[in-house]
Amino acid sequence: MPAPSPYRGDFPILERRIQGYPLAYLDNAATTQKPRAVINALSSYYERHNANVHRGVHTLAEEASALYEEARATLARFLGAPSPRQIIFTRGTTDALNLVAAGWARPRLKPGDEILVTRMEHHSNLVPWQMAARERGATLRFAGITAEGTLDRESFASQLSGRTRIVAISHVSNVLGTINPARELIALAHAAGARVVLDAAQSAGHLRLDVRDLDCDFLALSGHKMYGPTGIGVLYGKADCLEEMQPVQGGGGMIEWVEEQEAAWAPIPARFEAGTPNIAGAHALAAAAEYLRPRLEPAQQWEAGLTAYALERLAAVPALQLYGPRDPARRAGVFSFNLPGLHPHDVAEVLDGYGLALRAGHHCCQVLMRSLGVTATLRASLALYSDSGELDRLAEGLSTARKALSA
Amino acid sequence: MSVELYRAAVLEHSRNPRNAGTLDSPSHRARAANPLCGDELEVTLLLAGGRVTAIRAAVRGCIIAQAGASLMTTAIEGATEAEARVRARDFRAALEDPHATLPPSLEPLTPLLELHQHPSRIGCALLSWLALERALDPGAGT
């Protein structure tokens, strides 16, 4: 009898039944479900503390401001950042990466400079760099991937040069599940004189992150992929990088003073947070970080065990083509695969009939899809509430779908 | 908002600010503005023989900003440049730590520790100190 996850009961939505089956939510790379602690943080904020931050002296404004700044400090601790002022609240990873590309990279890039990304980047860590490169006459280069779906380190190292200004890499691939050796890649990039932007959207909430140990110059994450709400994320930056970065949005809260023709910026991080921020979201994201704090290590082990089991079960599905590394130690719980001759959307539709929530498509990775020679894949992705019973159900569902659709 | 914040000592300094205005021939000057409310002030000072021999603050701001600036100038006038930096650091640290007390050199500023109960107003009391720090070290506190 497979053991259920010890964390499942913390997530109210998992009590739902879909098509008569208990919900097997395997779309966690897209967004995770929210524990009660996060839902309570959102509702208690609006029921008890709601006010705008920073500009009020009344009690609720003081409370809202304190909760917002406490959230910043909590996220700084979560990432091992030296100071809360190095945490900028954004709408999510996409917003954070666009801020670095527009506010830090664009003013710095010169014609002939290079930006190095990998072929496994999500569009959010690719298109902003295309835009910056095109505007500044810089060149975008791609580190290749191996046949197994890991980053080709030789390709990466050989494309670093004195012209490389920025290296933008994902920590964990949202398609292949590959865990990139971030620390090593960052050291290589630094040795070449480049700054490194780490897309941690898929690692936050699954792997312990320590920005000082990683030594990344910037790191972006999304709250909703680490059990927090949508519409809130974080950009971490080294203090000198943030001091160099230009604000991209002007407005309230980001200035020290404003004259008719000019304005002076507020100190970091307020400089990058124009307008009323997502206060409730920041507070609830902090609740997610606090939820994870004592659970991250045991959950990481739980997910690693399930990853090994999933590889075994998927390998046993007849004809299934799995993308990404076979070695469970080198990958996270994200699995992309296809059943030959069947469109992933059709298979996902059949699986939904068994209460299995999977994603099908290009997963915002069209460059990678071309490298894999496909236009779309099915993707199952795990979270700390996943369990082996769900993976058994997935394997059976895939076999059933194959028979039903191949007739 | 509690009236505790507006004790007699604070009100007295705001109504009769010490060292108000601008020095004609300062050796150092700097401005600071509170982005949250628009208050602004300028500190001018004369550094002679390593000592702040004169200091003025021109303030357009709330009672806390005015009294804070007045108290700042009394704490800094006559201090050495090094002492001024230490006092700025000590006062900032004391406001940011809810359990802090002030060193003897800053004892007259004790009524401002009531700001521990009103964190959104701490910036008002620090505004003149920020200008002082910028006057001594251009680029400080940006």
Using CB atoms, which residue from A58, A267, A270 is nearest to B142?
Answer: A267
Instruction: Quote the radius of gyration of chain B (alpha carbons, Å).
Output: 14
**Which pLDDT score is estimated for B9?**
84
More confidently predicted of B57 and A57: B57
Mean pLDDT of chain B: 92
Cα angle A284, A290, A295; round to 5:
130
Share of chain A above pLDDT 90, in %: 95
Q: Count other C-beta atoms under 10 Å from residue A351's C-beta.
A: 23
Using CB atoms, which residue from B36, B40, B118 is nearest to A54?
Answer: B36
For A2-6, A99-103, A146-150, A290-294, which range has the lowest pLDDT when averaged over its residues? A2-6
pLDDT at B125 over 60: yes
CA separation for the pair A38, A43 (Å, rounded): 9
Cβ contacts below 8 Å, chain A against chain B, sum to: 30
Task: Determine contact: B25 vs chain A, CB below 8 A.
Answer: no
Distance from CA of B120 to the nearest CA of A (A): 6
Mean pLDDT of chain A: 96
Give the pLDDT confidence of B46-71 residue by residue, as tens digits.
999 999 999 999 999 999 999 999 99
Confidence of residue A44 (pLDDT cuts 50, 70, 90): very high
With contact defined as beta carbons under 8 Å apart, do A112 and A137 qualify?
Answer: yes
**Which pLDDT score is estimated for A256?**
87
- Average pLDDT over every residue of B12-41: 93
**Which pLDDT score is estimated for B142?**
54
More confidently predicted of A67 and B101: A67
CA-closest candidate to residue A192, choices A145, A141, A244: A141
The residue type at A157: A
Distance from CA of B76 to the nearest CA of A (A): 25
**Which pLDDT score is estimated for B2?**
57
Which residue of A lies nearest to B41 if distances are taken between CA atoms?
A: A257
- Average pLDDT over every residue of B35-43: 88
Contacts of A57 in chain B (CB under 8 A): 1, 118, 120-121
**Sheet of A164-170, strands arranged across:** A87-90, A233-237, A218-222, A195-199, A164-170, A114-118, A139-143
Confidence of residue A175 (pLDDT cuts 50, 70, 90): very high
Q: Give CATH for domain A8-27+295-406.
A: 3.90.1150.10
With contact defined as beta carbons under 8 Å apart, do B69 and B57 qualify?
Answer: yes
> Which helix (DSSP H) or strand (DSSP E) does residue A188 occupy?
helix A182-191
CA separation for the pair A272, A3 (Å, rounded): 46
**Which pLDDT score is estimated for A100?**
98
Confidence of residue B4 (pLDDT cuts 50, 70, 90): confident
**Which pLDDT score is estimated for B50?**
95
For A9-18, A72-81, A254-263, which range has the lowest pLDDT when averaged over its residues? A254-263
CA separation for the pair A206, B89 (Å, rounded): 40
Mapping DSSP onto H, E and C, the string for A203-271 reads CECCECCCHHHHCCCEEEEEHHHHCCCCCCEEEEECHHHHHHCCCCCCCCCCEEEECCCCEEECCCCHH
Confidence of residue A39 (pLDDT cuts 50, 70, 90): very high
Q: Where are the alpha helices (DSSP H) in A266-365?
A: 279-292, 296-315, 344-352
Contacts of B40 in chain A (CB under 8 A): 257
Give the pLDDT confidence of A160-169 residue by residue, as tens digits.
999 999 999 9
**Which pLDDT score is estimated for B1?**
42
With an 8 Å Cβ cutoff, are B120 and A54 in contact?
A: yes
Contacts of B121 in chain A (CB under 8 A): 57
CA separation for the pair A240, B89 (Å, rounded): 22
All domains of chain B in start order, with CATH: 3-136 (3.90.1010.10)
pLDDT at A223 over 50: yes
pLDDT at A199 over 80: yes
Contacts of B119 in chain A (CB under 8 A): 62, 65-66
Q: Residues 41..80 of B with a Cβ closer than 8 Å to A: which? A: none
With an 8 Å Cβ cutoff, are A267 and B141 in contact?
A: yes
Task: Determine contact: B38 vs chain A, CB below 8 A.
Answer: yes
Give the pLDDT confidence of A271-324 residue by residue, as tens digits.
999 999 999 999 999 999 999 999 999 999 999 999 999 999 999 999 999 999
**Which pLDDT score is estimated for B67?**
95
With an 8 Å Cβ cutoff, are A62 and B119 in contact?
A: yes
The residue written with tokens 């997935």 in the block is A394
Using CB atoms, which residue from B35, B118, B121 is nearest to A256?
Answer: B35
**Which pLDDT score is estimated for A407?**
61
Q: Residues 245..264 of A with a Cβ closer than 8 Å to B: which? A: 253, 255-257, 264
Using CB atoms, which residue from B1, B40, B141 is nearest to A57?
Answer: B1
Give the pLDDT confidence of A335-394 residue by residue, as tens digits.
999 999 999 999 999 999 999 999 999 999 999 999 999 999 999 999 999 999 999 999
Residues paired with A35 in a beta bridge: none
Q: Would you list the domain boundaries of chain A?
A: 8-27+295-406, 51-292
CA separation for the pair A351, A395 (Å, rounded): 10
pLDDT at A395 over 60: yes
Distance from CA of A265 to the nearest CA of B (A): 8
**Which pLDDT score is estimated for B141?**
62
Cα angle A123, A325, A143; round to 5:
45
Which residue of A lies nearest to B139 if distances are taken between CA atoms?
A: A267
Task: Determine contact: A60 vs chain B, CB below 8 A.
Answer: no
CATH architecture of A51-292: 3-Layer(aba) Sandwich (3.40)
Distance from CA of B1 to the nearest CA of A (A): 6
With an 8 Å Cβ cutoff, are A57 and B120 in contact?
A: yes
Task: Please list the active-site residues of A.
Answer: 364
Contacts of A58 in chain B (CB under 8 A): 1
What's A375's DSSP letter? Answer: S
Using CB atoms, which residue from A55, A65, A257 is nearest to B33?
Answer: A257
Confidence of residue B35 (pLDDT cuts 50, 70, 90): confident
Phi and psi at residue A79, to the nearest 5°:
-100, 0
pLDDT at B138 over 90: no
Distance from CA of A246 to the nearest CA of B (A): 14
Helices B63-76 and B8-15: crossing angle in degrees, nearest 10, is: 80
